[in-house]
Amino acid sequence: MDNEKQKDELTALESIYNSEEFSYKHENNEYECTLKIFLNLSGDFYFSYKDIRQIDEESTKVQISHLPPITVLVTLPNNYPSLSPPNFTLISSWLRPPLLSRLCRKLDQLWKETEGVEILFTWFAFLQNETLEFLNLKENLNINQTYTRYKIALENQIQPELTMCASNILKKSSVDVRHRNEMTNTKNHHHQHFSKKKNKRQKNNKNSFDKRAVFDRPVSSNPVQMLIDYNEMRNEIEFKRNFYTCKICFSDKLGIDCTQFIPCSHVFCKDCIVGYLEVRIKDGAVQDISCPEDKCTSEATPGQIKDLVSPELFSKYDSILLSATLSTMSDIVYCPRRHCQYPVSREVNEVFATCPSCQYAFCLFCKMVYHGIEPCKMNSADKQSLMKEYKNASPEGKLQLEKRYGKKQLQLMIDNTMSENWITNNSKNCPHCKVAIEKSDGCNKMACGHCNTFFCWLCSTRLDPRDPYQHYRNPNSSCFNRVNQGILMNLGDDDDEDDEVDDSDDDDDPTFVVDEFIDYSDDDNSTEEIEIDDL
């Protein structure tokens, strides 16, 4: 009869609780049950802790949504429920033995009130719905004593070393024997007194703690971190079980197919977020990947991104993020070699660095192989930019540039640049030998003094040495009738050299530029060529 009642009760419990909460087996002609009690916490539930040895220390409060379950192990005797109650054990990692013992006594009381009737469901319902209220823990769980014992356990890990040090000090001390004996006697007296109090306390505790109450947590483990870790794990489990509406596609999906941003708690389906992340990573915008909700400042975590995208895409994300992070560090430069690109840490006030990967020593300014005290090589455009920067720089900026390039080098560069600019603006290159030539006077038919090549000053066209003026007589030429264009002519009377010169009439000097003055003579003496080899 009892066996049938036991079987019916277990079948009913199996239909009420899921497989995570309830399970049973039949061994040694007895039923053994395991039930995990998940407590229902209020929305503002928190646990508090502090080291009670620190009197002035304030308690720290941590809000949580879940506590680790209380495990109930039950064995049904053959004469249950007619004569004997179930044998049970309560196991918890956060309830101390005194509180667990109170629960054990309450379960015994419930059995006595309904003796001879199936009691398991009544026990389980009480533990699940009334435990916190019964223990006066409806809003706050105080773990001060548990936390203090954990701190003491940490300190005791180094106690052997402290004892050895103390022994060495005693060996080396010059305290006389009599004084040491007095201290030893005093120590023994206090030790005996402490032992008596300890034995008395243990005896009282032994009477108050129920053997069926098991505190299942090592003293050396951190109770605070244990509660926080379990709360996060349980939140994730509960999230996967519920349905949510994606804020992008507005579809209702299970939490296992969704992702949630922290701390804003906005939920989106994985399909939408994966597309969003792929676009951001492919565009290289890997920093501050924020929640897609409008004006939300929450950001996706690297772990969240790793769970959503492919390994190849996450590797790209990780690489770009690392590069972007290193770029913000002033003491990090990259190896200039294309096949390396390894991040290199630069020393303060150094002008070169050595790549730890490929051992390439390079200049920090021009990124070329380290050239010692020699200035960095630059092209013409870089020189022009440097000269402009140097001229417009503040005194502090000029000192920095002079420290990098050298003051004498910068001055020489300025002089050379000015010469190059003058040559560029006032000369043209021979179309044959490329020598720079200046035109100071004469017509536009030029003859190179280096290679004797005839060319046009206006269009740099090579001219036929047999008839160089044909270029200016040809109607199809762009320089037709322009052989004397640009010549300065003075129409003043040379015979009036002895006349007084009136300075006030200088502005009326009849000197003008001839736009078109045609002269087809073969006299080459009217043209002067100057070869500019070096300035």
Helix (H) or strand (E) holding 441: strand 436-441
Q: How large is the average pLDDT for residues 422-434? A: 84
Lowest mean pLDDT among 354-363, 365-374, 492-501: 492-501
Q: Are strands 511-514 and 487-490 parallel, antiparallel or unpaired?
A: antiparallel
Instruction: For residue 467, give the 3-state DSSP assignment.
Output: coil
Q: Which residues of 351-383 are buried (b: 16+ CB within 10 A; e: fewer)?
A: bebbbeeeebebbbebeeeeeeeebbeeeeeee
pLDDT digits (tens, 9 = 90+) for 218-238: 888 899 999 999 999 999 888
Q: Is the pLDDT of residue 167 over 60?
A: no
Q: How far is CA 244 from CA 251, 267, 309, in A?
A: 8, 7, 21
pLDDT digits (tens, 9 = 90+) for 240-258: 889 999 989 999 999 999 9
> 363 Cβ partners below 8 Å, 6+ apart?
351, 352, 369, 370, 371, 376
> 100 Cβ partners below 8 Å, 6+ apart?
90, 92, 210, 213, 214, 215
Question: What tokens appear for 51 in the block?
Answer: 């080291």
The span from the CA of 74 to the CA of 363, in Å, is 76
For residue 364, give the nearest of 331, 406, 394 by alpha carbon.
Answer: 331
Instruction: For residue 218, give the 3-state DSSP assignment.
Output: coil
**Which pLDDT band holds residue 87 (cuts at 50, 70, 90)?**
very high
- Sign of the alpha-carbon torsion through 520, 523, 528, 533: positive
Amino acid identity, residue 56?
D
pLDDT digits (tens, 9 = 90+) for 371-397: 887 777 766 677 777 778 888 888 888
The length of the chain in residues reads: 535
> 248 Cβ partners below 8 Å, 6+ apart?
268, 269, 272, 273, 276, 292
Other Cβ atoms closer than 10 A to 491? 8
Helix (H) or strand (E) holding 9: helix 2-16
Mean pLDDT of all residues in the chain? 79
Q: Is the pLDDT of residue 30 over 50?
A: yes
pTM over 0.85: no
Residue of 246, 269, 355, 443 marked catalytic: 443
Q: What is the pLDDT of residue 489?
A: 54
Q: Is the pLDDT of residue 294 over 80?
A: yes
Query: Known catalytic residue: 443?
Result: yes
